[in-house]
Structure 1
Amino acid sequence: MASPSPKSPEQTEKNKQYDRQLRLWGDHGQSALEKSHICLINANALGTEILKSIVLPGIGAVTIVDEHIVSEEDIGSNFFLETTSIGLNRGSETLRLLLELNSAVQGHAVQEPTDQILKENPDFFKSFSVVVATALSEKIIQDLSEHLWENNVPFILCRSVGFLGSFRIQVREHAVIETHPDNEQPDLRLDVPFPALAKYLADIDIDAVDLKDHGHIPWIVILYKAVQKWQQVNANRWPMSRKEKNEVKEIISGFIRKDENDVPISEENFEEALRAVNTGLVPTFLPVKIQDLIYSSAAINLNSESSPFWIMCSALRGFVEAEGKGKLPVRGVLPDMTASTEHYVKLQNMYRNQAAMDAEAVYRKVQQIVTQLHRDSISEAEVKLFCRHAHDLHLIKGSSIAQEYQLNSPTATYIAKHLEEPDVMMVHYILLRASERFQSEHCRAPGDWEPEGDIAQLKTCVSKLLSDISCSPFPKDDHIHEMCRYGGAEIHSVSAFLGGCVAHEAIKLVTKQYKPVNNTFIYDGASTNTATFTL
């Protein structure tokens, strides 16, 4: 009878609740999420859908700024409001019902207009991790953007009108350490093995291994021995071309033992070695994008205001120039492979120990820097995480939304260029911007009262926007007619899709994991097409 499987450790209720997301961003990502405070301006259908997808995973706190009263139109588009909410403050009612989704989340509602808060209490927005805004006028967008830009608070501006939706992320600078690449290359160092690995590899003779142990040799060893044999007749070079790697494969095939009928014996570890030739033989090098980071002025010219990211980049540069001998710290992660437990654990410990030694060297340099700058210390855990992901660091340098709205802004040329492409999604960006301008001038959405009568006025707004960026008017008015037909209404399915997207981006910003959109995302619900632009 088969023995029972061992019991898994008991999970806490919290771990059970957040199990799937913990697999995405880990305990430290969840901790960052729970320490964050998100501000939402206007709890319309889109805003509520955004908060729903932030409250469910366990954001620490949310604040809704909304002075509007719940109307019948809100009930028709916002599934988180009830008919009994009509006549009550929209922010308070939305918050009450949203917090039922997760009792661990703290909530606050502010019933003052955004422009009034900016005027009377400008420090209000400084304390938030991210500010998300929907359905704002053109003037308030610019004022809020300038204020958040100056105070270095991430800002996400969202729109949902009819079948169209968009969001724009404004960050001055956003560093991502854990980018979670789809295809992470293994960091094996077979071309420059560290001392412990070099000794281990040298001590194994494939030809002398017993037949019963032959199928348990790690493929890393097989690959290394094949390259060594290849180098003997190739001036000690490292195989780079497809032809050279195919020659290495032939050597590996020659290692495979045969039975009495001279038929190769199938051994999984040798098959793994053959499959790993392309990825396992990538030479160890300092990626250009990482070199640009560690030698940038922000990493060289540190001051008391420098972020922990730049301090660690500076320490990493010191390591590369000294202990690393031009290489980054060892990642310390070994891919799965067919091998005996003894071999695999031994190999795994070697890579882990070398990674720990490299991270310790970087940590010492970090401590020296923070002491010189009289800064708060950076934890060893942060430095280890930084070193583990040093091969895939990512930095976004953003631009201001307020600047985008100014005449003759640098983005005008970019927008004009993309408008020249056929069936381009940039047309929807112009329509959404023109709709904002129409609302600022007429205090209502285009088509809200008279769809046919507003077409000419919206066309004027579109023409003015296009003129500002030196573009010709649209050859057809189809898109303008469609925007007026929407009448500023929100379609819940469009808001729900866009809300989920915005929530994902907000979570990326607060956890500092995964690459966020840089910087504009546009969605056309009628065609289900999406596009991103860097304005």
Structure 2
Amino acid sequence: FLPLRGILPDMICDSKSYIDLLTIYQEKARKDCELVGNYLYDLLQKYCSKNVSSKAQLDDLVSIYCKNSSFLNVVRTSELKQEYRHENNESLKQYVEQLPAAQQAPSDGDQSESMMTPQPIFAQDCPELCWYIGLRLCDLFHEKYGRYPGEQLKDIQNGSEDDNSREEMDTDQRQIETDLHDLKLIGKQFLTDHELAKHQGGIRDTVLEELCRYGSCEIHSIAAFVGGCCAQEIIKLITHQYIPIDNTFIYNGIKQSTALFKF
């Protein structure tokens, strides 16, 4: 067991009982601290006999350690390239197997509606893991075509009725449909490479359609949130305080939710 902190949690009781109990806690914490200090001093004498500080000099360090030992957390991160290796896909398999079955989106008018307009995203049918896989597919698309799906399309102003705008919109619509088709083919190959062919639910058409529609744009609110998360993690690493994010972090701006995946 870990050393007792010596801090008594808030509780409802009379003053005498609280003081008596606090005294017991503090006495036990003092003994634990002394025991840890003896262990540390013996280890230093055994392995660092030439540079051993006096026992009194270690007291402050041991006291701080004992008070905070219950908050210690060991974080063993992995390399990014390990996440992308096909042979290290057991974690991805486990995550995909836990996904709920995909639901059919309810029909809402004409199903041939242009993908140039935002389509309803059904949050309950798009877990964060599906967005993670979708982003992985976008990276593979970029490796193959030198651009992201839906990227390099001309901006169309809503409400423009001239013939040129209509022609450009039709061209962009066809480009998005082509990119979506190619992205789905990449998705099938991705599942095969990672031995996930039986788990088609890991790739949701709704997610791929949205990734193609938004064309790798950087939305201000999302960029600000993710940038803030990055700054926070940098501060953690520099100050050696608080527990850093361990492995892959996904932020879902549609549901305002986050998820961590360790591969």
TM-score bin, normalised by smaller chain: 0.5 to 0.7
Q: CA distance change for structure 1 residues 428 and 415 in 2, over 3 Å: closer, same or farther? A: same
2:216 maps to which residue?
A: 488
Instruction: Give, in angstroms, the shift of residue 432 of structure 1.
Output: 0.8
Asked whether the equivalents of residues 404 and 411 of structure 1 are also in contact (C-alpha less than 8 Å), the reply is no
Residue 75 of structure 2 aligns to a residue whose secondary structure is: strand
Whether 2:184 is the aligned partner of 1:465: answer no
Instruction: Give, in angstroms, the shift of residue 333 of structure 1.
Output: 1.3
String of CA shifts for 1:132-190, please: whole Å, max 9, x gaps: xxxxxxxxxxxxxxxxxxxxxxxxxxxxxxxxxxxxxxxxxxxxxxxxxxxxxxxxxxx
Instruction: Give, in angstroms, the shift of residue 428 of structure 1.
Output: 0.6
1:431 maps to which residue?
A: 134
Asked whether the equivalents of residues 130 and 204 of structure 2 are also in contact (C-alpha less than 8 Å), the reply is no
Residues of 2 paired with 1:430 and 1:476: CA distance?
A: 9
1:262 maps to which residue?
A: none
Q: CA distance change for structure 1 residues 416 and 346 in 2, over 3 Å: closer, same or farther? A: closer
Whether 2:149 is the aligned partner of 1:446: answer yes
Instruction: Give, in angstroms, the shift of residue 459 of structure 1.
Output: 2.5
Whether 2:7 is the aligned partner of 1:371: answer no
1:334 maps to which residue?
A: 8
Residue 531 of structure 1 aligns to a residue whose secondary structure is: strand
Q: Report matched runs for 1:28-67 at 5 Å.
A: none
1:383 maps to which residue?
A: 62
Instruction: Give, in angstroms, the shift of residue 449 of structure 1.
Output: 1.8
Residues of 2 paired with 1:377 and 1:493: CA distance?
A: 53
What one-letter code is carried by the residue in structure 2 that aligns with 1:529? S
Instruction: Give, in angstroms, the shift of residue 476 of structure 1.
Output: 5.8
Residues of 1 paired with 2:52 and 2:219: CA distance?
A: 49
Q: CA distance change for structure 1 residues 492 and 363 in 2, over 3 Å: closer, same or farther? A: same
Deviates more, 1:446-455 or 1:348-357: 348-357
1:498 maps to which residue?
A: 226
Residues of 2 paired with 1:449 and 1:413: CA distance?
A: 34
Residues of 1 paired with 2:70 and 2:254: CA distance?
A: 40
Asked whether the equivalents of residues 408 and 468 of structure 1 are also in contact (C-alpha less than 8 Å), the reply is no
Q: Report matched runs for 1:126-141 at 5 Å.
A: none
Residue 394 of structure 1 aligns to a residue whose secondary structure is: coil
Picking from 65, 71, 75, the partner of 1:396 is: 75
String of CA shifts for 1:51-73, please: whole Å, max 9, x gaps: xxxxxxxxxxxxxxxxxxxxxxx
Residues of 2 paired with 1:397 and 1:330: CA distance?
A: 26
What one-letter code is carried by the residue in structure 2 that aligns with 1:443? G
Residues of 1 paired with 2:82 and 2:19: CA distance?
A: 56
Q: CA distance change for structure 1 residues 382 and 421 in 2, over 3 Å: closer, same or farther? A: farther
Residue 530 of structure 1 aligns to a residue whose secondary structure is: strand
2:86 maps to which residue?
A: 407
2:30 maps to which residue?
A: 356
Q: CA distance change for structure 1 residues 377 and 419 in 2, over 3 Å: closer, same or farther? A: farther
Instruction: Give, in angstroms, the shift of residue 509 of structure 1.
Output: 4.3
- Higher strand proportion: 1
Residues of 1 paired with 2:17 and 2:94: CA distance?
A: 56
Q: Report matched runs for 1:202-221 at 5 Å.
A: none
Residues of 2 paired with 1:485 and 1:521: CA distance?
A: 23
Gaps of 5+ in 2: 103-124, 154-174
Instruction: Give, in angstroms, the shift of residue 493 of structure 1.
Output: 0.5
Asked whether the equivalents of residues 520 and 532 of structure 1 are also in contact (C-alpha less than 8 Å), the reply is yes
Residues of 2 paired with 1:343 and 1:370: CA distance?
A: 41
String of CA shifts for 1:328-348, please: whole Å, max 9, x gaps: 4332113456655x8866765
Residues of 1 paired with 2:247 and 2:27: CA distance?
A: 40
- Higher helix proportion: 2
Q: CA distance change for structure 1 residues 377 and 477 in 2, over 3 Å: closer, same or farther? A: farther
Q: CA distance change for structure 1 residues 524 and 351 in 2, over 3 Å: closer, same or farther? A: closer
Gaps of 5+ in 1: 1-285, 287-327
Asked whether the equivalents of residues 435 and 458 of structure 1 are also in contact (C-alpha less than 8 Å), the reply is yes
What one-letter code is carried by the residue in structure 2 that aligns with 1:466? L
2:260 maps to which residue?
A: 532
**What is the TM-score normalised by the length of structure 1?**
0.34
Q: Percent identity?
A: 34
1:141 maps to which residue?
A: none
Residue 438 of structure 1 aligns to a residue whose secondary structure is: helix
Q: CA RMSD in A?
A: 3.3
Q: CA distance change for structure 1 residues 401 and 415 in 2, over 3 Å: closer, same or farther? A: farther
Q: CA distance change for structure 1 residues 478 and 349 in 2, over 3 Å: closer, same or farther? A: closer
String of CA shifts for 1:454-499, please: whole Å, max 9, x gaps: 2233233322222212224567633222112221111110122223
Residues of 2 paired with 1:329 and 1:527: CA distance?
A: 41
String of CA shifts for 1:286-343, please: whole Å, max 9, x gaps: 4xxxxxxxxxxxxxxxxxxxxxxxxxxxxxxxxxxxxxxxxx4332113456655x88
1:274 maps to which residue?
A: none
Residues of 1 paired with 2:129 and 2:18: CA distance?
A: 53
Q: CA distance change for structure 1 residues 330 and 470 in 2, over 3 Å: closer, same or farther? A: closer
Instruction: Give, in angstroms, the shift of residue 366 of structure 1.
Output: 0.8
Instruction: Give, in angstroms, the shift of residue 421 of structure 1.
Output: 4.5
Instruction: Give, in angstroms, the shift of residue 433 of structure 1.
Output: 1.0
Residue 249 of structure 2 aligns to a residue whose secondary structure is: strand
2:161 maps to which residue?
A: none
Instruction: Give, in angstroms, the shift of residue 404 of structure 1.
Output: 1.6
Q: CA distance change for structure 1 residues 444 and 407 in 2, over 3 Å: closer, same or farther? A: same
Asked whether the equivalents of residues 416 and 469 of structure 1 are also in contact (C-alpha less than 8 Å), the reply is no
Q: CA distance change for structure 1 residues 477 and 330 in 2, over 3 Å: closer, same or farther? A: closer
Q: CA distance change for structure 1 residues 419 and 370 in 2, over 3 Å: closer, same or farther? A: same
Q: Report matched runs for 1:145-164 at 5 Å.
A: none
